[in-house]
Chains A and B, each alone.
Chain A
Amino acid sequence: MRVLSDRLLTDPTAEIEKILITALIGAVFAYFHQLWKYSRDAYEARIDEACDLIFNLAETAAEYWISPKLNPRHELGPIRHSASVSRQLVPPSLELLQVRIEGGVKKLEFLRLMLQPRLSLHDRQLLVDRMASFLDSMTGGQFASKARAADESRAREVYVTASDLVAHLRTASQRANGWWLTLFRQFEIVRPYRPPHSHRESIADTLILSITVPALLIGLLLVLVSLIF
């Protein structure tokens, strides 16, 4: 403090400039750090929402596939006298489960659209692939048929594909939450960026970024050094 006060006495303007620049740099870093934290937390909340939905859907789908669906016109004809038996053979909940699965799939698709812009091209393609497997295990086979047998293997498969999808979402979200990506998105707001749709575009972007970003950082560093010293 004594050294600082001595310097302030000898050359007050230069020293105040240095203090202000240092404070400004600190403030800018703190701002971007907060921005990154908010952005990461908001994204993680969406990922949690998607994962909960996936496991809820898996539960619903497993319940749907584990029960046989009998056509009431053919199977229940002779035993309509017994209300308890007819309820047992055609559980009304099966129709409800079917509607819930269809609705849940749509919700999940919208969540995917919200989540995928942050992901790399490779992670996006993998996400679509894992989603396709999950949807196929839930709504494939004899889904929505008037009558079908119970399908235990499909009920098991639903959990496997759900776990694969959740695992991919979790790992991809870790990769999507880097601080440099948050910084990049801030620039993107000012100058809209075209996300790569092919490997060629992805390679071109990597080349451009690997040249321009170090050049900008070195330039910024030189400016700061020249201002401070």
Chain B
Amino acid sequence: MSTINIASDFSRTPGGRYISDGPFSGELFRERLLVPALRGALSSKGKVVVVLDGTRGYLSSFLEESFGGLVREHGFTKHQLDRILELRAIDSYYETYRNIALRSIADARAERSLAH
């Protein structure tokens, strides 16, 4: 099991959606940390825990691009992500962001199934 703590491994001040929008974007987080960890977890049949705590908050666009983008851009399925990805919000403050991230995965799946 590998753990990604966004605050310590990426940034305490996550930014917007795309790399072109500025530093610490959702796209950068997904490409640099999330996808390699998830690919590793898939091959080793492990699990990736993403800890949302410790940052100064998130923009919904960051979360959508990071987690929804896994389905949209990298072809992960909801079933796979349920098995290998765990989103953790230890402090109650981050519950809303966890909810948004989970919703992004579900909505991205819907977009993908509509497209096919």
At the interface, yes or no: A135 with Cβ under 8 Å from chain B?
Answer: yes
At the interface, yes or no: B57 with Cβ under 8 Å from chain A?
Answer: yes
Chain A window 90-125, contacts with chain B (Cβ cutoff 8 Å), 1 for yes, 0 for no? 000000000000100110011011001000000000
At the interface, yes or no: A142 with Cβ under 8 Å from chain B?
Answer: yes
Given A136-B103, A138-B60, A143:B96 Cβ within 8 A:
no
Chain B window 1-21, contacts with chain A (Cβ cutoff 8 Å), 1 for yes, 0 for no? 000000000000001111011
Alpha-carbon distance A131/B93, docked complex (angstroms): 11
- Rounded to whole Å, the gap between the CB of A181 and the closest CB of chain B is 19
Set of chain A residues within 8 Å of B61, measured between Cβ atoms: 139-145
At the interface, yes or no: A129 with Cβ under 8 Å from chain B?
Answer: yes
At the interface, yes or no: B35 with Cβ under 8 Å from chain A?
Answer: no
At the interface, yes or no: A132 with Cβ under 8 Å from chain B?
Answer: yes
CB-CB contacts below 8 Å: B1-50 with A: 15-18, 20-22
At the interface, yes or no: B99 with Cβ under 8 Å from chain A?
Answer: yes
Set of chain A residues within 8 Å of B60, measured between Cβ atoms: 135-136, 138-140, 143
Alpha-carbon distance A138/B95, docked complex (angstroms): 17
Count, chain B residues at interface, CB 8 A: 20
Alpha-carbon distance A146/B99, docked complex (angstroms): 26
Asked whether B21 lies within 8 Å of A129 as measured between CB atoms, the reply is no
- 5 residue pairs, one from A and one from B, having the closest CB atoms: A144-B16, A140-B60, A132-B99, A139-B60, A139-B59
- Rounded to whole Å, the gap between the CB of A193 and the closest CB of chain B is 16
Interface size class of A (residues with CB under 8 A): 20 to 34
Asked whether A112 lies within 8 Å of B17 as measured between CB atoms, the reply is no
Alpha-carbon distance A106/B57, docked complex (angstroms): 7
Apart from A102-B57, A116-B92, A142-B17: 13 A-B pairs, beta carbons within 8 A: A113-B93, A128-B95, A128-B99, A132-B99, A135-B96, A136-B64, A139-B60, A140-B64, A143-B16, A143-B60, A144-B16, A144-B17, A144-B61
- Rounded to whole Å, the gap between the CB of B64 and the closest CB of chain A is 6
Asked whether B96 lies within 8 Å of A109 as measured between CB atoms, the reply is yes
At the interface, yes or no: B84 with Cβ under 8 Å from chain A?
Answer: no
The 27 listed contacts between A and B (C-beta, < 8 Å) are A102-B57, A102-B59, A105-B57, A110-B93, A113-B93, A128-B95, A128-B96, A128-B99, A131-B96, A132-B99, A136-B60, A136-B64, A136-B103, A139-B59, A139-B61, A141-B61, A142-B17, A142-B61, A143-B17, A143-B59, A144-B15, A144-B17, A144-B59, A144-B61, A145-B18, A145-B21, A146-B20
**A contacts, CB < 8 Å to B:** 102, 105-106, 109-110, 112-113, 116, 128-129, 131-132, 135-136, 138-146
- Rounded to whole Å, the gap between the CB of B16 and the closest CB of chain A is 4
Asked whether A145 lies within 8 Å of B17 as measured between CB atoms, the reply is yes
At the interface, yes or no: B81 with Cβ under 8 Å from chain A?
Answer: no
At the interface, yes or no: B87 with Cβ under 8 Å from chain A?
Answer: no
Given A136-B103, A141-B61, A113:B18 Cβ within 8 A:
no
